[in-house]
Structure 1
């Protein structure tokens, strides 16, 4: 699964790359290392507003039926998302999760006591996006609305099968040309699962 990303692009670069405006520039998150378990507000674009880059969605989707915000999903298995209670009612709620890189670890032994860390990027675009789902959760006690998202994952391609050798999964990285297709709710999500869908990635061992 993918839980760690990088987002180094500044506001002007993102607005030019996605032909969209950032909703709150002062809230734009940039960091060389984003930990999904900290539920950061990574910039995303939704199918409802493709010309707006949102900065108020936190990583870790809370399903509408959750009684509290302790239940969060960082990843959604794209092959079975339509079957899972957390996702089956929101597979039309598509989003682009913006990044300049992500991180995975290669296990050198069965227990993962020795690991090599890799930074992975799109081989096509310096700024790219992952496929994701988003949701609005209403706190049943306070009425507070939280905007959240999850990242779609699929079976690993050859490169990621080597790097992520203990899980053999990878995030669904989109090509620039296919971003609007992903945002189109009429497109089947399974069309973006490997091996039907794949783009070239590059990786560098950093530790």
Structure 2
């Protein structure tokens, strides 16, 4: 699953990379601030590129909320849904059947730009966080779906069965986010896709040779430590850790 991300690129970088514009200029200073570790369970505001306005970067709350709710329902819903993952992820295998996902998958798909994301590796019952980022240091495009609650956009990151690399890293759940390559970014936001074409994109494996993955500090998992600092992205070598991915 994907519950932890990093967003360190400046807004201008994202605008140039995706050929879009920030939807509200008053948000630029807020989103220019680097977030080295965003914990999904705190439901942070992030930028997405929504299918309905694919020319903009729009603010959205991480954690999808069912259509039909009101703005005042959002926080209570997050509290209630924590046992189901708080809407942070959506299983791609269920997008056409799930009562929330099926209302978004055809017309409310989105791209979530991140600089990287974190996944846990289990060894003898102990968790070791790994950071996954692009070797090119360009933004990574995660596939997502969203809803609009009053004027608040809420989203989930789509996940799939792990590729060989992620099966080694995320060796308990064996899941990974759906990562879009340059060719599929445009297609993902197209209004012309049918169900079969959407499924084809969801099943594509992102080239592992494009990725860099390494272990980082266990502070990432500690609720007592503010891990939203640049140091959380530094590699940490654990002598006892058997997994080597690069």
Same fold, judged at TM 0.5 (above): yes
Find 1:189's aligned residue among 187, 198, 205. Answer: 198
Structure 1 residue aligned with 2:186: 180
Return structure 1 stretches of 4+ with deviation > 4 angstroms: none
Contact 1:78–1:189 (Cα < 8 Å) also in 2:
no
Equivalents in 1 of 2:94, 2:136: separation in Å? 28
TM superposition score normalised by structure 2: 0.74
Whether 1:136 aligns to 2:140 is no
Match of 1:84 in 2: 98
Partners of 1:155 and 1:193 within 8 A in 2: no
Q: Distance in 2 between matches of 1:74 and 1:104?
A: 14
Q: 1:171 aligns with which of 170, 177, 187?
A: 177
Aligned length: 196
CA contact (8 A) 1:43 1:53 kept: yes
What TM-score do the two structures reach when normalised by structure 1? 0.88
Between structures 1 and 2, the one with greater helix share: 2
SS of the equivalent of 2:96 reads helix
Quick check: 1:126 aligned with 2:134? Answer: no
1:203 pairs with one of 210, 213, 231:
213
Tell me the distance in 2 between the aligned counterparts of 1:162 and 1:197. 15
1:1-207 → structure 2 map (5 Å cutoff): 1-23=1-23, 24-28=27-31, 30-55=34-59, 57-66=60-69, 68-69=73-74, 70=77, 71=81, 72-92=86-106, 93-109=108-124, 112=125, 114-123=126-135, 126-138=138-150, 145-187=151-193, 188-194=197-203, 196-200=204-208, 201-207=211-217
Partner of 1:142: none
Moved more, 100-109 or 118-127: 118-127
Deviation at 1:66, TM superposition (A): 4.3
Which segments of 5 or more consecutive residues in structure 2 lack a partner in the other structure? 218-246
Partners of 2:216 and 2:205 lie apart in 1 by 27
Contact 1:191–1:197 (CA<8 Å) still a contact in 2?
no
Contact 1:4–1:34 (Cα < 8 Å) also in 2: yes
- The answer to whether the 8 A contact 1:173-1:199 is kept is no
CA RMSD of aligned residues (A): 1.7
Cα distance in 2 for residues equivalent to 1:80 and 1:2: 16
The 8 Å contact of residues 124 and 175 in structure 1, kept in 2 or not, is answered as: no
- Give CA-to-partner distance per residue, 1:23-52, whole Å, 9 cap, x none: 231331530000111111111101121221
Q: CA deviation at 1:198?
A: 2.8
Contact preservation (8 Å) 2:184, 2:201: no
